[in-house]
Amino acid sequence: MLTKSFFTSKKKNSSRIPIWFMRQAGRYLPEYRKIRALKKNFLDLCFTPKLACTISLQPINRFDIDAIILFSDILVIPHALGQNVTFKENIGPILKPVKDIRDIKYFNENEWDKVLSPIYETIELIKTKNKDKSLIGFCGSPFTVLNYMIEGGTSKDHKKIKLFLLSEPRKAREIIDLLVEISVHYLLKQIEAGADIIQLFESWSSLLEDELYNDFIIKPNKQIIKRLKKLHPKIPIIIFPRNSENKTEKLIKNICCDGLSIDLKTPEKVIKLCEKKKIIVQGRLDPLRLLLGGKQMEEQIKKDLLFFKKKNYIFNLSHGILPETPISNVEKMIEIIRNYEITQ
């Protein structure tokens, strides 16, 4: 089993580098596409435990990687709050935008669980099917979720959310506080159902600077982690502040996470800080390199393995596996990592 020891200290005599991937279950797999065709609405797939369980286990069955990642989506949170959320092919998520907390329908745990309980059931089902692998549960961090709620979907300029924070800071904090509450509740329920590791996705942390970064990125994530750790002190918690660059250093200094997902913009000084604080690092490989494959991919994988050789490291990508990625490239990547583990 991939144990929590990977999130405390790497064994001196161990050369095994754990592997898992963001979006390891997804459209690049034909078995996923077959199941996806059964449901018109993407969220229906997330809320059907038998199907979500099967999808979660597909990359394990095919590649025997080291952890199961719960098949779900960060936008189940606004859905549980009563916001209308749909997904359109080649467009992505579409939400009916909220303007303040009065646009939110559901405010208590019983109402949230009516919507989210199938996800807890999925986790329980996964654990009955596979007890040997650690299961990673997750949710979107409050600001990232708020971004989608205000913008009404994916945005190119994020104008609405920026104006909202600047012009209506009190209203923004009200919704952020509510998102902290539902996130804590949701993640605690995941842990109770059997999740072994938790990840927070702060996908839009790059948008904010200075006090806004402190108020809407650092403080909410710090609150969530503190409250989870109070009840489950040994649960490993990973955070992914996507494209946060130098601001990641400030984040790491102010929250007590066990793991950090890094991307192509993460400075080396942040990696050194993680090493000093005994924080596990995961990520780095560009998904485009995996998509292209060949010599350039193989050389970069070996460079990353060499760089992280004596560090606490989990092999992962800097973001999710792209839908067009050939399975043969994923297989080759895993082969290189496994052979490195055996021979180094």
In this structure, what CATH number is given to the domain that contains residue 106?
3.20.20.210
Residue 230 Cα to chain centre, angstroms: 21
Q: How confident is the model at residue 10 (pLDDT cuts 50, 70, 90)?
A: very low
Task: Answer yes or no: are the C-beta atoms of 73 and 43 closer than 8 Å.
Answer: yes
Nearest CA among 244, 267, 262, 275 for reference residue 315: 262
Q: What's the length of the chain? A: 344
287 token code pair? 């998904």
Half-sphere exposure of 327 (CA within 13 A, CB side): 12
Average pLDDT, stretch 282-286? 96
Task: Say whether pLDDT at 119 is over 50.
Answer: yes
Task: Say whether pLDDT at 122 is over 80.
Answer: yes
Task: Say whether pLDDT at 140 is over 90.
Answer: yes
pLDDT, tens digit (0-9, with 9 covering 90-100), for 197-246:
999 999 999 999 989 999 999 999 999 999 999 999 999 999 999 999 99
- The span from the CA of 216 to the CA of 192, in Å, is 27
Tokens 């709620």, residue located: 149
Q: What is the pLDDT of residue 344?
A: 56
- The span from the CA of 250 to the CA of 103, in Å, is 33
Give the whole-number percent of the chain exceeding pLDDT 90.
90
Task: Say whether pLDDT at 6 is over 80.
Answer: no
Q: What is the pLDDT of residue 340?
A: 86
- The span from the CA of 124 to the CA of 313, in Å, is 28
Q: What is the pLDDT of residue 309?
A: 86
Map the chain to HEC letters.
CCCHHHHCCCCCCCCCCCECCCCCCCCCCHHHHHHHCCCCCHHHHHCCHHHHHHHHHHHHHHHCCCEEECCCCCCHHHHHCCCCEEEECCCEEEECCCCCHHHCCCCCHHHHHHHHHHHHHHHHHHHHHCCCCEEEEEEECHHHHHHHHHHCECCCCCHHHHHHHHHCHHHHHHHHHHHHHHHHHHHHHHHHHCCCEEEEEECCHHHCCHHHHHHHHHHHHHHHHHHHHHHCCCCCEEEEECCCCCHHHHHHHHCCCCEEEECCCCCHHHHHHHHHCCCEEEEEECHHHHHHCHHHHHHHHHHHHHHCCCCCEEEEECCCCCCCCCHHHHHHHHHHHHHHHHHC
pLDDT, tens digit (0-9, with 9 covering 90-100), for 158-179:
999 999 999 999 999 999 999 9
Tokens 């007890």, residue located: 131
Task: Answer yes or no: are the C-beta atoms of 119 and 52 closer than 8 Å.
Answer: yes
Q: How confident is the model at residue 15 (pLDDT cuts 50, 70, 90)?
A: low
Nearest CA among 180, 185, 213, 176 for reference residue 101: 176
Maximum separation of any 2 CA atoms in the chain, in Å: 60
Q: How confident is the model at residue 4 (pLDDT cuts 50, 70, 90)?
A: very low
**In 10 A of CB 158, how many CB atoms?**
16
Q: How confident is the model at residue 3 (pLDDT cuts 50, 70, 90)?
A: very low
Task: Say whether pLDDT at 27 is over 60.
Answer: yes
Task: Say whether pLDDT at 331 is over 90.
Answer: yes
If one counts the domains in the chain, the total is 1
Q: What range defines the domain where residue 72 resides? A: 4-343
Tokens 């009563």, residue located: 82
Q: What is the pLDDT of residue 169?
A: 95
Task: Say whether pLDDT at 7 is over 70.
Answer: no
Average pLDDT, stretch 9-25? 73
- pTM beyond cutoff 0.85: yes
Q: How confident is the model at residue 90 (pLDDT cuts 50, 70, 90)?
A: confident
- The span from the CA of 301 to the CA of 340, in Å, is 10
Tokens 């920026």, residue located: 162
Q: What is the pLDDT of residue 125?
A: 98
Task: Say whether pLDDT at 8 is over 70.
Answer: no
> What average pLDDT does the structure give for the chain?
93
**In 10 A of CB 91, how many CB atoms?**
10
Q: How confident is the model at residue 82 (pLDDT cuts 50, 70, 90)?
A: very high
